[in-house]
Every structure is written in C-alpha cells, then in structure tokens.
Amino acid sequence: METWDAIRARRNVRDYLDRPISDEDLDRILEAGWRSPSSRNEQPWAFVAVTDREQLRELSKVWRGAGHVATSAATVALIEPEAESPEHAASIRYDLGQATLSMMVAAADRGIGSCHSSVADQDLARTILGHPERHRCALLVSFGYPAGGPLRPIIHPDRRPMDEVVHRGRW
C-alpha cells in the first residue's frame, strides 16, 4: 500500500479474524515504533509485544474499553518511564503518540488493523507485562486482521469539515 493510502485506510479495528500476524509483519510494526522521532532523541519508550492468547485475555482487563485486546493477534504495550516534571510527561506522551501512529500506519500498510486502549489498572498491567517499578504502561495497541473485511482507503471519512479544523495564519 502507498503511504497516503495506508493513512486513509487506517481506522480503529476492534473485531479481528482468528489469524496470526507473521513474525516479519510484527517485526515491521515494532520497527516502525522504534524508528519514530522523539524529543531530544530521548526514545523514552519500551514496547512489550504480546501474542499469547491467555496473556492477551488477561491484558484486556486493564481497562473497561480494552476488550479488543483479548481477540487481537498481537498487542503492543507502550511502557513509559516516570517523568521528571509535567513538561517532561507531556513530551513523553507526545513521543508515545508518534510511536503509536507509526506502528498503526505500518500495520495498515500490511493490511493489519489496529486500535489503542488506555490502561487503568497499572498493578495488573505490571503483573502481566513485568515492567520495572518507576515505569507504567501508558497505552495498549491491538493488532489483527479486520473481521469486517480488508482495510482500504476511506473515500468519505466521518470527519469535521477541514475548514472548521484548519486555520491558516490565524484562527
């Protein structure tokens, strides 16, 4: 898929086929996150890729909206370090957002759907994922082949009109 087509095809997918993602495709998705830009090249993230079905079921319990994790082919947990200040926390979150979108677009390029989730139960996440103290699981991103059919560019997206969103020079 061309980059522009992958961007236009990417959407939140919460229902997945019972089909594994190849190691090659999962590695490409993870590399996209690893290559993402970060403030001062800090690269504050760590990624935990989960493919074990029972572990995915348990991981889906960390947030009320994470049910899609249980049926995904793989889920990547984005782990962040403790921030030094509110400004540093904002920078880390922005970096994690860039890594998330990079992984999602790389997945769409391969025909793989994705969806993100918050994490409320940090103790359960730490038990399942084993990340160290002074780190927290910031986000989960599930991946899998869409049950509703293959990804393709969305011609008429359900978005606010561009002229309501984009301002040039001034609001």
- pLDDT, one tens digit per residue, over 117-161 is 999 999 999 999 999 999 999 999 999 999 999 999 999 999 999
Alpha-carbon span 68 to 159, nearest angstrom: 23
Segment 2-26 mean pLDDT: 96
Query: Side chain identity at 50, as an amino acid letter?
Result: V
Nearest to 60 by CA among 111, 6, 7, 124: 124
Helix (H) or strand (E) run with residue 142 in it: strand 135-144
pLDDT higher than 90, residue 1:
no
Helix (H) or strand (E) run with residue 139 in it: strand 135-144
Name residue, tokens 């103290």.
133
pTM (2 d.p.):
0.95
pLDDT, tens digit (0-9, with 9 covering 90-100), for 54-94: 999 999 999 999 999 999 999 999 999 999 999 999 999 99
- Beta-carbon contacts of residue 37 (< 8 Å; ≥ 6 apart): 95, 98
Nearest to 78 by CA among 156, 136, 122, 13: 136
- 63: helix, strand or coil: coil
pLDDT of residue 14: 98
Alpha-carbon span 139 to 77, nearest angstrom: 6
Chain centroid to Cα 60, Å, comes to 14
pLDDT higher than 80, residue 102:
yes
The 10 Å Cβ neighbour count of residue 60 is 20
pLDDT, tens digit (0-9, with 9 covering 90-100), for 105-117: 999 999 999 999 9
Helix (H) or strand (E) run with residue 34 in it: helix 23-34
Tell me which CATH homologous superfamily contains domain 3-149.
Answer: NADH Oxidase (3.40.109.10)
